[in-house]
Amino acid sequence: DGKTVIGMFGISRDISESKRREDELRTMATTDFLTGLASRRDFIDDLNRQIARVQRSPQINTCLLMTDLDFFKRVNDAYGHAIGDAMLQHISGLMKSEIRRVDSVGRIGGEEFAILMPDTPLAAAHAFAERIRNKVMQTPLCDKDKVIPITVSIGITQISCKDQSFDSVFERADRALYQAKHFGRNRVELA
């Protein structure tokens, strides 16, 4: 149980309540409120740590996957934003169920997600991305009497010891992601 502390001016404070609030604020700062995934800022912090790790040990294979929901605007337009939010939560759950303990997944913005895969060669990251792509395609969102299919496009890059910050890694993964969209969506492309 928390202890009550009487301050110098006779003001009591419950330490456990203060600790709970502190934990709550930390969670709000590091977690995307809608999906429960890492926030963009928290994910970038993790990515920067992995970049530093690769710079220290260039033989380490670490990959970044950028994932974007295909035609997500159509879901919002056809079914409303509440269903769009449910779709984002649905996709988040699918991704969380597939990642390993060492991996991290974050919502980067809108309908874009990123997955960081430490100690993973490009071929293994590609196989994982295909598994995610297939799982999303085969697992539509079911809401009352509606079955709403969606697909994802994924771009993959490997972190290089030459990367100085998350920007260069994001840029390569984004280019691969947009190639996947350009070549028809519902596909995986390597940078």
- Side by side, the strands of the sheet bearing 188-190 are 104-109, 112-117, 63-69, 152-158, 188-190
189 is catalytic: no
Which residues have C-beta within 8 Å of that of residue 132, sequence separation ≥ 6?
65, 67, 94, 95, 98, 115, 152, 154
Q: Which is the catalytic residue, given 22, 98, 111, 189?
A: 111
Assign residue 59 a region (left: φ > 0; alpha: ψ between -120 and 50; beta: otherwise).
alpha
DSSP 66: E
> How many residues comprise the chain?
191
Task: Return the active site residues.
Answer: 111
